[in-house]
Chains A and B, each alone.
Chain A
């Protein structure tokens, strides 16, 4: 197992799912559930003759941040692009379910519990969505995770952390959007249809997936932060992500409701204003929207160092 201290300064982008899970919670507090030694592998992949993983590409477990119990889900992009199938999906669903049941039990036994003593869920996304090899089971798993997110709402805050190679795309892009708070690094990417799928379906003129600058200024952390799709933007290290989670973990659940980007009449109104703005502006590039948000040197925002970006950027208000 990796050394917690050594993990902290390491790049979040390059960290494995297990290292991310371990490093986000307090030192020595992580206990993995349904881990590799339980050997729960995908029965579908086996039938298809495709390689399997002992953890089905998703690390789940429980840790602690200060007094806050933290239920962790961490996806491994190196295993079939972090795709979510039946087993991995069930692990996600049951981790959130466990957090909710734990919360209810705890509150019933200790009605005077403080906010920082109540559990939170942290999901480290690195996925392209449904594992097509087990499409129906994978889709069902997405729906079940969504269901659990709704059940957790107002009780157990769910925090998304996105800063891994694959990003958070496909059905899991929807799931990430449905969490209470999103923390990204500038190397994190978030979207519904991934760049390569857009290119495949709509052509290179519509979206050139080999243009990495275009990909990052359309789906990357800086753009998502300006647009308000991500609540927080942090540096690319495990400790930077952890620091943000540490700040959020003790907050009352009502504070998280205010961070949500979807799921209330007010947020729907806001989204509709965004759609109206897009129709009126017809932006040709993300930079057009950044300029609209009041950034005078919008194109320059692409290249400025992180600290300067954070101190000068204006986020879009509609």
Chain B
């Protein structure tokens, strides 16, 4: 059973622009994940690539990611995630952590 890859392109309701600097956050520990987030011209969209051992939760991933993008109004940004069975709350936490770190740099 190979790893499950999910690729999504999401459009924010209101575009506030990309993150400032390419940033890496987190460790793919048990029930945790790591995030790479970087600015990239994507016609105002956000491209997400997710790699996870978990299958059957694609709609939930999409809802969590959409919530994050709506909360931050992120646009023109590429997000890559290596997940290791993190819960939605942890996913959202790490995404916000990455967002904060990428804009603080």
Which residues in A have their C-beta under 8 angstroms from that of B88? none
Q: Is the CB of A37 within 8 A of B36?
A: yes
Q: Is the CB of A53 within 8 A of B27?
A: yes
Q: Is the CB of B36 within 8 A of A51?
A: no
Q: Does B84 contact A (CB under 8 A)?
A: yes
The smallest C-beta distance from B19 to any residue of chain A, in angstroms, reads 14
Across the interface, A53 reaches (CB within 8 A) one of B1, B4, B34, namely B34
Which residues in A have their C-beta under 8 angstroms from that of B82? 41, 51-54
Q: Does A47 contact B (CB under 8 A)?
A: yes
Which residues in A have their C-beta under 8 angstroms from that of B84? 51
Q: Which of A30-82 contact B (CB under 8 A)?
A: 35-37, 39, 41, 45-54, 57, 76, 78-79
Across the interface, A16 reaches (CB within 8 A) one of B2, B27, B30, B101, namely B27
Q: Is the CB of A51 within 8 A of B83?
A: yes
Which residues in A have their C-beta under 8 angstroms from that of B105? 1
Which residues in A have their C-beta under 8 angstroms from that of B2? 46-47, 49
Q: Does B3 contact A (CB under 8 A)?
A: yes
Chain A minimum-CB-distance residue to B28: A53
Q: Is the CB of A52 within 8 A of B28?
A: yes
The smallest C-beta distance from A250 to any residue of chain B, in angstroms, reads 32
Chain A contact residues, majority secondary structure: loop
Q: Is the CB of B52 within 8 A of A51?
A: yes
The 4 lowest CB-CB distance pairs between A and B, nearest first, are A51-B84, A78-B29, A49-B1, A36-B24
User: In which size bucket is the chain B interface?
Assistant: 20 to 34
Q: Is the CB of B3 within 8 A of A54?
A: no
Whole-angstrom CA separation of A46 from B84 in the bound complex: 12
Across the interface, B36 reaches (CB within 8 A) one of A46, A48, A54, namely A54
Which residues in B have their C-beta under 8 angstroms from that of A51? 3, 28, 51-53, 82-85
Beyond A36-B34, A49-B53, A54-B82, 14 additional contacts (C-beta under 8 Å) are A16-B27, A37-B38, A47-B2, A50-B3, A51-B28, A51-B53, A52-B28, A53-B27, A53-B28, A76-B27, A78-B29, A78-B30, A79-B27, A79-B29
The smallest C-beta distance from A40 to any residue of chain B, in angstroms, reads 12
Whole-angstrom CA separation of A79 from B32 in the bound complex: 10
Q: Does B44 contact A (CB under 8 A)?
A: no
What are some 12 contacts across the A-B interface (CB < 8 A)? Answer: A17-B27, A36-B36, A37-B36, A37-B38, A49-B1, A49-B2, A51-B52, A52-B3, A54-B24, A57-B27, A78-B29, A79-B27
Whole-angstrom CA separation of A53 from B81 in the bound complex: 9
The smallest C-beta distance from B51 to any residue of chain A, in angstroms, reads 6
A277-295: CB near B (< 8 Å → 1, else 0) gives 0000000000000000000
The smallest C-beta distance from B57 to any residue of chain A, in angstroms, reads 14
Across the interface, B34 reaches (CB within 8 A) one of A47, A48, A49, A54, namely A54
Q: Does B22 contact A (CB under 8 A)?
A: yes
Q: Is the CB of A79 within 8 A of B24?
A: no
Q: Which of B65-98 contact A (CB under 8 A)?
A: 80, 82-85
A101-138: CB near B (< 8 Å → 1, else 0) gives 00000000000000000000000000000000000000
